Structure 1
């Protein structure tokens, strides 16, 4: 340590300490106590003022989203800190990209002097140690990558041996009280799991099972495990998706199923779902909750219902109509009326999934009734906003342009005929030349002339083609063109989607239309 601070009174230092679980295996030299002692000795020798000490214990160097590190950055932003001191560069981080960002960009832009004691790095002075900093960062990154590979290899080996390495076992099991990496039956939850399989075997659908569990107020797996509840309309409730996932999980027949997801790499927290053939499945590792034959029969029942979900219905308001109370999209169901006819009805999706949970109401109403009301209102707004007299000159110009377009199409066709004729002549000339009926000199002279003329026609044709790209309305009369637009435009889904952002239906069957264009909101009242 040969660093010198010529003006110590100008600095407010941050002592940053980081220790990961991997560092603990190296030895006591990396401990928090050792790092703190080294940093405090340095600041005392150089009479530096310490603003605060920031400690991230148990955090990987590849992850820069650390609580104390973020707190230090906030203090730098607030201009409370203008010097950062670490034991070595790896304490700052092991991701060479992010380390380089802070070293080369962030710290200099915020006038922060960075010092790494054991590496001899000091951004406040010019030194050879600063020049090789990028290489040190890359070496630290490679170390982290190597550690990640070793940890991944150990975890994969444990998975192949049927040892549980996850955070929490699936619903129905719990961690063994004494043995590591082993799961045992959690009887209260296991009873619910057995009941779910029994209901599925009796023919009940996943939706029906979820409805029954919710009606009995049985807590779902996340609530039972005490995990943070997700936000939204379905928080704290069973869903058909959750039931379906449980019914297909081989863990319940005694097989250890792991490796469903894998991290992208050692620098990212994001995980990617794996295809079932890439899962690590080890048979007979723990006590089963369900008989294998029962599991097989239930899987057949679940798979047989997958195709029934493929039926969809097309309707004008699809994707833009919502429940006013809960905010969920309204879905449709095909129901039989009192006259024995089948009609599409809107129904609140939340109510449909959690009928007895009291989350929302049904909002049942005919799709045609709502569609007619929306179209009528949109048409009324458009006619109030658009002046037919002002549209008339536009329509007349369109008809004139249409006449020009017809002339252009005719001209385009005539040029094409000339080009085809010239091409046929060239083919005959080439045949005559091969048969010796046309001398080479005459062939070249005539060939070049016809080729030049054909090229000129092709250029004219390209200009005409650009004029024909945008098709025009073929109405015969301008007034009919305007009237047809005002009467039929609102039934165009493409136009409706561009005009209307969302339609809300409340429990009293009242409609609220939200237009995308602010001017139309005024006319909608």
Structure 2
């Protein structure tokens, strides 16, 4: 993010505050020197701002008390989100890729570039994310740091980055040739069947959650009637209804999260199987860059070197 800010500043592109000033729009007068420069936090905020994909998000902050103007952050699951309020300027596929990268939190080197396999390579033995190191002559390699935590924690694994790059390129080229040789109709049928199965499974999950929510809603209502009839004491009613309400809220969050998964699946079904076009762009690879790794690879497992 700092590297992005540096690039924008080097190109003389004004940050939002300076842009508003130049166009005569309302803006807060900068209070510090160099307030017109792009900075890490401005880039960080923009990368997760849903306004660029057509969504309006409100209610991120709430008043601490009616007696004060002080605000406090509101939990993300309580934000008010309305989708499709305006025309997006960022494609959803690109947005999802960026969110995945933000979640991975891959750290750049001191020169500002993210390593080729940062947050992608994992130790096959313990699952620990492998870290980049450098030899005295400048060669880079990946190693599992977990083995240094405890003698018995992991047998350890390491690999030079050029060697890993070659192995990955060979595997990707092999997979692409294998995929492109398949009958296209067979691919599409398999693709659609997989998505249909995923959709059905997710819909079943939502149905189960909603049924349980209905049961807890009915239970809370019956608890209230028992309290009114004198069957339950006030304290017992409060304890039980609190537990019921808490479980109901947990299920409602699960429904919201699962619905997002369903939305992703339905978008894939609408877009169709574009894997062939994607793979054709990356056949006969000779070198990798970070973008290719992000697009094609979820993660890589690296094990202990086999004895020769």
Please report the TM-score for the alignment, with normalisation by the length of structure 2.
0.32
Structure having greater relative contact order (Cα 8 Å, sep ≥ 6): 2
TM-score, normalization by structure 1: 0.19
